[in-house]
Amino acid sequence: MSASRMIIAENLTRTFGGGKTAAITAVDHLNIEVAEGEIFCLVGPDGAGKTTTMRLLTGLMDPTGGKAVVAGYDVSRNHDAVKDQIGYMAQRFGLYTDLTVAENMAFYADLFGIVGVERQELSARLLRMTRMEPFQTRPAGKLSGGMKQKLALMCTLLHKPRVLFLDEPTNGVDPVSRRDFWAILYQLVRDGLTVFVTTAYLDEAERANRVGFLHQGRLIQVDTPTGLKRNLPEALYAVTSVDHRQTRSALQREPGVLTVQPMGRDLHLFLDPAVTTPERLAQITPFQYQKIRPSLEDVFIALVRRQEVARAA
């Protein structure tokens, strides 16, 4: 990666417990680099370590090992300098529900020391960008979920950060609002902002420049969405049969089958083409099949299953 690296994690590790209780490693020797002007999406299920990773990168939590560098500053040694360079939007952002949109923005502007003409111009720009101008007098408690996220984003951007950290910002938000939110992120990146976002939505991760898959605190793969799907060595087939449950049970026992998962009306079959073929498997249990291109959800399932098989071996 080029010299303009805005986020660097080197063997970043965080454990909890120990002593009388068994230690739990929430983030395990994480190595990540994010370039300036990039949208990097960290994906994983609940409990994978996404929020802990973000807290380590923003200085809200100290690492057990390794280090993080954000906007050129060591997070542990220069926390105040890092804080000036970043915006952090947690899953539960601290909006004041009894204050209006404009009053919430004014409150956060006061916290950041943004005053006078700068406050007026920046607030107007953010309201225009998010299309929230008509709702300035509405109490935050009466906004929809998507509008609350837009307001939280505006408050986070008031001090003009260089790096934006968003922890599952569209969780529970309707699809239209999610699309609008990402349109805003694209505009921010065009203006030079770097965005680090976590999500459990695999379809949403498709919109990022690069995606990192996190599982049990370990980063198991990083690439562009296209690269993740193109470079998967296993082959994916959509499978239909008379009895999906019986077909799945039979296929799961066969060598070379990585995973068989229900997906809509079909089964998605991942197999190692060096070990077996769908033609051979169809002789064991009858089914129809068609080779398909994997989605990011398919890729994540396959990568996790590959890890589980490797550990079992």
Question: For residue range 234-247, what is the model confidence (pLDDT) as tens digits?
Answer: 999 999 999 999 99
What is d(CA 251, CA 264) in angstroms, rounded to the nearest whole number?
Answer: 18
pLDDT band of residue 3 (cuts 50, 70, 90) is very low
pLDDT at site 201? 84
Longest dimension (CA), the chain: 76
Instruction: Place domain 5-228 in its CATH homologous superfamily.
Output: P-loop containing nucleotide triphosphate hydrolases (3.40.50.300)
Q: Count of CB atoms within 10 A of residue 23's CB?
A: 10
CA atoms within 13 A on the CB side of 267: 26
Instruction: Give the C-alpha distances (Å, rounded to integers) separating 113 from 109, 210, 254.
Output: 6, 34, 64
Query: Torsions phi, psi of 183, nearest 5?
Result: -60, -40
Q: Which CATH number fits domain 233-293: 3.65.10.10, 3.40.640.10, 3.40.50.720, 3.30.70.100?
A: 3.30.70.100
Question: For residue range 34-58, what is the model confidence (pLDDT) as tens digits?
Answer: 999 999 999 998 889 999 999 999 9
Entry pTM:
0.89
* DSSP per-residue letters across 267-290: EEEEE-TTT--HHHHHHHS--EEE
Distance of CA 151 to the CA centre of its chain: 20
The domains of the chain are located at: 5-228, 233-293
